[in-house]
Amino acid sequence: GAGVSQSPSNKVTEKGKDVELRCDPISGHTALYWYRQSLGQGLEFLIYFQGNSAPDKSGLPSDRFSAERTGGSVSTLTIQRTQQEDSAVYLCASSLVGLATNEKLFFGSGTQLSVL
């Protein structure tokens, strides 16, 4: 597709369940980012993948959160044993890295996660 695709667009789950959120970046983009945004708040950085380098996981809030990126393309963010405070919009973005002149983030529409 032409843009960053995220699925599902909405996810309702019960406290304690595990969830997986998917991100399909723009083809050819080597960098992929996950952010989350709680209601009325700014963007909180979670994790950053760049090519074959070790991901920057410094933003993951707890060990219940993990993410992987297979084949340098699709990424999955997994939240184990979800808690109500995990409710937020989870945004994925990708960028073409190599020259600063073309490193622009393109965001998906996000996944609205609601933990009951």
Partner 1 sequence: DAKTTQPPSMDCAEGRAANLPCNHSTISGNEYVYWYRQIHSQGPQYIIHGLKNNETNEMASLIITEDRKSSTLILPHATLRDTAVYYCIGHNYGQNFVFGPGTRLSVLP
Residues 51-110 touching partner 1, rule: CB under 8 A, are 56, 91, 93, 97, 99-100, 103-110
What burial letters (b/e) apply to 8-42, b meaning 16+ CB within 10 Å? eeebebeeeeebebebbbbeebbbbbbbbeeeeee
Nearer to partner 1, 12 or 15 (CB): 12
Nearer to partner 1, 88 or 108 (CB): 108
Q: Which amino acid is present at 110?
A: G
Residues 88/38, Cβ–Cβ less than 8 Å:
yes
Which of 19-27, 43-51, 60-68, 80-88 is the region at the interface with partner 1 (rule: CB under 8 A)?
A: 43-51
Q: What are phi and psi of 71, to 5 degrees?
A: 60, 20
Q: What is the DSSP letter of 74?
A: -
Residues 5-34 touching partner 1, rule: CB under 8 A, are 33
Residues binding partner 1: what is the number (CB under 8 A)? 22
* Binding stretches for partner 1 (CB under 8 A): 4, 33, 35, 42-43, 45, 48, 50, 56, 91, 93, 97, 99-100, 103-110
